[in-house]
Amino acid sequence: MDMTTVGVVGCGLMGSGIVEVFARAGRTVIVHEVDAAAAARGRSRVERSLEKAAASGKLVAGDAEAAINRIHFGTDLDALATVDLCIEAASEDEALKTELFRRLDAVIKDERAILASNTSSVPIMKLGTVTRRPAQVIGMHFFNPVPVLPLVEVVPSLLTSPDVVRRVRELAEHYLGKTVILSGDRAGFVVNALLVPYLLSAVRMVESGFATATDIDAGMTGGCAHPMGPLRLTDLIGVDTVVAIATSLYAEFKEPLYSPPPMLLRMVDAGLLGRKSGRGFYDYHG
């Protein structure tokens, strides 16, 4: 079964990047969004990214146009009925994701079709067991910005078929040009299980008044050669997303280092979500 038609549920920052890389790889992509306005925003986001790639010489202009013509945006989940692979890229909310997997399982007719999640923290087993096809459910975790960063974490559950793992890995490596690492099915997988405690430690430094966000970030970029400091990275990922991942990690492991600091929780309450809201640890207006 060739994965020539791909569904993507959600076309926000992550979803739009996933849509773009599959369209550039010659796949027909069917995008589902919650309403027409969200679909229009997603389409605009993909078009801008493709135009930027063409303007910088990373993509031939004709290829950019061909890629956008392969993408079909809509709000009817039934449009995904015939896809070979469907990637869920909704908000990092376990209840939302499990409900989507129930619905996708009912909508997608071919039981051989693969259901994947771009989740950064929800255990894949929890998503697989709400479907009739847990052997076809897998994690396929991309990194932002998806067209630029080379990594994909492939995460099988205990019930995922080895053939599904092989096919997804081959797709990511040979057709998308990504570097694949395999992770066990634990909250946070490989990257976020290592990254999030580091980010939370930086937040606690700010919260306690030990150091400013600017000085902490300068310390890690100038002293450790990190390309971005932990507070700017938190803003890039999204403060709400970091809280969601930390909450999932803490629920699984009950380790204090995974518990989201009160400062992060208050920032979410205030809508200070980082770059996507215009303000987080830094101000991005203008």
Is 111 in the active site? Answer: no
Catalytic: 120?
Answer: yes
- 192 a catalytic residue: yes
Q: What distance in Å separates the CA atoms of residue 107 and residue 225, rounded to the nearest whole number?
A: 47
Catalytic residue among 49, 141, 183, 248: 141
Q: Given the residues 120, 121, 157, 248, select the one marked as catalytic.
A: 120
Catalytic site includes residue 92: no
* Catalytic pick among 153, 157, 183, 248: 153
**Residues identified as active-site:** 120, 141, 153, 192
